[in-house]
């Protein structure tokens, strides 16, 4: 994919004046034209730098009217919105006499001033250009930004302040009183070196719903990395997939060290992206990425999103935390872990209902550095899945492979630890050949056994490099803690991932699972509802299905209970929500589906004022909980 064909740089672009500085390019429109018929480069062309510049931003001329936007405590620049632009693929609405329609028009961003680089910045940026263009340009498709940032995977160009949306079908249920927030990567600057789908600065897309009306807001998580790169006007911190050979590791490592000596950034303040998921516990909302600590965020009464800062829990949290903590809604506790390349490779910990972090429990029985993206809890245990996917620094350096790779000779294991353990003495490991779950959906206790539900990646060797070849099959795994017997039962042979449940059933026996349909992954063409209780009878577990339509793709579904405070409510009494993008029409929608209906009937569809790029994980936060974030 050529970078100039990406929606990030293309569309019905107006001829523009180029403002060139040693660090940025900014485009200002002058007159309208139509889209060109041919791209400058074919898809298969090698990565050739078009201009010897450090970073690219596209800026359209603002309107004469201005709108004052609030700022957060973690950034010194004003928040701005992205106007209807080529990359958003949303046509400008026609003039209307209706006042409510006018308020849905996307505001224009304020004028940006080019960053004037210092001499050290100019020198280090020049070195970075040499590395990216000549020493180690992206050589594989899965790290070529022209290939990765295509279609709706391309970033939106700027933030979007709270903007009213139009309900175009049905009506929003009264129980959807709060905000659905989804996290995902949205690089602040166009990458010129290697770039993976998992990279990109975290951007939160929140649709706040109140009294049947919806407001969309898209804001970056103002991480330390984001703010430092914004200050210099270009990328500073290389991503992990940039270190894929001895040469690239040495050159990029030396450049990063030089940037630290020049005080451009400090690794002690973190380098994470906070682009993976969100969690709400102890009356706090966090944006998460497993390479760093959580970032506390809030949704304001008018629907805006603010970053409050990096959270180390009074100095008790070290280095990083999983992007998939588990919250027990019955007790108010949160359970989490971290993993890394040095011993202990796994560390487990928890938070009490007030958010106080409890002491670490290092797990030394995990003998090799393994990638543990997710885990599960039951009422008694914490469950970890050691996959055939691990950190491989030697292969990266000497063979030019990925920093995270597969080990075909490794036997996957499931580790079970009492969830209130103070050390690992009671940790038990069970060999489960061929079981490689990237995500764990839920777990519960049954007498002397644990039942785990998770999508198993059947071809783990493609999990990072060729996602379109990945097939994940949802399985039900029963672990007999006395005999050590592990029994696996397929729930569905379909390609499923991003499986979720009613959050009230976390750690408890659940009947229903809602999973995203890969077509192929990472494109998600629909959602299915599964009855896991039918798996033991070898029956078809699919009880409902909703496909989004031709070239319409969504993301992870999320279940919202209709009566969350009613203990007698049925498990599936609620709604399944997700963002969906139509690649033909170039429009994004927010869909609300009836979870009890056999076809997951759409009860409401909200047209969004601009496209929402594909992303990762999200959650719904009730208004009563949002008010606690004030």
What b/e string do you get for 234-248 counting C-beta neighbours within 10 Å, with b at 16 or more? bbbbbbbbbbbbeeb
Residue 293 in tokens? 């600590």
Category of 232 on φ-ψ map: left (φ > 0), alpha (ψ -120 to 50) or beta: alpha
Model confidence at 94: pLDDT above 70:
no
pLDDT category, 461, cuts 50, 70, 90? confident
Which residues are annotated binding-site positions? 324, 373, 439, 617
pLDDT category, 109, cuts 50, 70, 90? low
What pLDDT score was predicted for residue 391?
Answer: 80
**pTM as predicted:** 0.83
Where is pLDDT greater, at 304 or 135? 304
Tell me how far apart the alpha carbons of residues 605 and 577 are, in angstroms, rounded to a whole number: 10
Q: Average the pLDDT over 301-314 and give the result.
A: 97
The answer to whether residues 403 and 393 touch, using CB atoms and an 8 Å cutoff, is yes
What pLDDT score was predicted for residue 232?
Answer: 92
58-67, 305-314, 557-566: segment of lowest average pLDDT: 58-67
Model confidence at 507: pLDDT above 80:
yes
- Helix 246-261 vs helix 119-130: crossing angle, to nearest 10: 170
Contacts 24+ apart (CB under 8 A), 100-103: 100/164, 101/166, 103/164
Category of 205 on φ-ψ map: left (φ > 0), alpha (ψ -120 to 50) or beta: beta
Residues 6+ apart with CB under 8 A from 475: 435, 437, 453, 454, 455, 456, 488, 489, 490, 491
What pLDDT score was predicted for residue 540?
Answer: 85
What pLDDT score was predicted for residue 71?
Answer: 38
What pLDDT score was predicted for residue 105?
Answer: 55
Q: Average the pLDDT over 607-617 and give the result.
A: 98
What pLDDT score was predicted for residue 61?
Answer: 36
Strand partners, 312: none
Residue 323 in tokens? 């992007």
pLDDT category, 185, cuts 50, 70, 90? very high
106-115, 513-522, 585-594: segment of lowest average pLDDT: 106-115
What pLDDT score was predicted for residue 402?
Answer: 64
- In tens, the pLDDT along 377-429 reads 999 999 999 999 988 766 665 655 567 788 888 999 999 999 999 999 999 99
| 3-state SS class at 224 | helix
Length of the chain counted residue by residue: 630
H/E element holding 248? helix 246-261
Q: What is the DSSP letter of 332?
A: T
Averaged pLDDT of the chain: 84
CA distances for 480 relative to 225, 445, 548, angstroms = 45, 10, 40
Which residues are annotated binding-site positions for Fe cation? 324, 373, 439, 617
pLDDT category, 191, cuts 50, 70, 90? confident
What pLDDT score was predicted for residue 465?
Answer: 84
- In tens, the pLDDT along 18-52 reads 333 333 333 333 333 333 333 333 333 333 333 33
Tell me how far apart the alpha carbons of residues 378 and 364 are, in angstroms, rounded to a whole number: 22
Tell me how far apart the alpha carbons of residues 545 and 540 are, in angstroms, rounded to a whole number: 13
């Amino acid at each position: 994919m050529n970078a100039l064909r990406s929606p990030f740089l293309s569309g019905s672009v107006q001829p523009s004046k180029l403002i060139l500085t040693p660090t940025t390019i900014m485009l200002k429109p002058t007159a309208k034209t139509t889209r060109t018929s041919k791209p400058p480069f074919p898809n298969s062309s090698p990565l050739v730098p078009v201009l010897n510049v450090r970073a690219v931003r596209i800026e359209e001329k603002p309107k004469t009217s201005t709108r004052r936007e609030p700022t957060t405590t973690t950034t010194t620049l004003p928040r701005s919105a992205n106007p209807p632009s080529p990359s958003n693929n949303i046509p400008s609405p026609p003039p209307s006499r209706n006042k409510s329609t006018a308020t849905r028009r996307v505001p224009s961003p304020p004028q940006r001033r080019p960053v004037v680089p210092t001499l050290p910045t100019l020198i280090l940026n020049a070195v970075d250009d040499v590395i990216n263009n000549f020493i180690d340009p992206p050589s594989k498709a899965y790290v070529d930004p022209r290939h990765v940032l295509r279609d709706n995977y391309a970033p939106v160009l700027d933030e979007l302040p709270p903007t009213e949306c139009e309900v175009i079908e049905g009506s929003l249920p009264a129980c959807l009183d709060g905000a659905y927030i989804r996290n995902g990567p949205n690089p602040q600057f166009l990458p010129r070196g290697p770039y993976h789908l998992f990279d990109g600065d975290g951007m939160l897309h929140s649709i706040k719903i109140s009294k049947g009306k919806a407001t969309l807001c898209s804001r970056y998580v103002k991480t330390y990395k984001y703010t430092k790169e914004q200050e210099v006007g270009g990328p500073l911190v290389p991503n992990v997939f940039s270190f894929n050979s001895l040469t690239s590791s040495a050159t990029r490592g030396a450049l990063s060290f030089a940037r630290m000596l020049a005080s451009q950034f400090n690794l002690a303040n973190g380098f994470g992206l906070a682009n993976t998921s969100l969690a709400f516990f102890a009356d706090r909302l966090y944006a998460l990425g497993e390479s760093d600590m959580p970032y506390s965020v809030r949704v304001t009464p008018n629907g805006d999103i603010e970053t409050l800062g990096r959270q180390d829990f009074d100095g008790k949290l070290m280095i990083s935390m999983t992007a998939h903590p588990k919250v027990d809604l019955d007790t108010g506790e949160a359970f989490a872990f971290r993993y890394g390349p040095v011993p202990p490779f796994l560390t487990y910990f928890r938070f009490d209902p007030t958010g106080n972090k409890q002491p670490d429990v290092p797990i030394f029985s995990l003998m090799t550095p393994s990638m543990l993206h997710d885990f599960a809890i039951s009422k008694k245990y914490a469950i970890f899945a050691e996959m055939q996917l691990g950190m491989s620094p030697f292969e990266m350096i000497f063979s030019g492979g990925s920093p995270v790779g597969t080990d075909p000779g490794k036997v996957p294991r499931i580790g079970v630890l009492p969830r209130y353990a103070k050390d690992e003495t009671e940790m038990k490991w069970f060999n489960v050949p061929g079981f490689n779950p990237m995500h764990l959906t839920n777990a519960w206790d049954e007498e002397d056994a644990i039942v785990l539900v998770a999508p198993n990646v059947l071809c783990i060797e493609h999990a990072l490099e060729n996602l379109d070849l990945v097939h994940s099959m949802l399985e039900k795994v029963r672990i007999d803690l006395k005999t050590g017997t592990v029994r696996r039962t397929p729930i569905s042979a379909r390609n499923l991932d991003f499986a979720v449940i009613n959050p009230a059933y976390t750690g408890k026996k659940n009947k229903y699972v809602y999973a995203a349909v890969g077509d192929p992954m990472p494109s998600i063409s629909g959602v299915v509802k599964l009855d896991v209780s039918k798996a033991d009878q070898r029956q078809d577990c699919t009880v409902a299905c909703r496909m989004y339509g031709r070239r319409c793709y969504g993301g992870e579904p999320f279940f919202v209970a209709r009566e969350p405070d009613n203990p007698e409510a049925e498990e599936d009494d609620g709604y399944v929500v997700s963002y969906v993008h139509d690649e033909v029409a170039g429009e994004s929608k927010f869909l609300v589906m009836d979870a009890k209906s056999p076809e997951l009937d759409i009860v409401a569809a909200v047209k969004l004022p601009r496209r929402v790029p594909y992303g990762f994980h999200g959650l719904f936060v009730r208004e009563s909980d949002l008010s606690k974030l004030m």
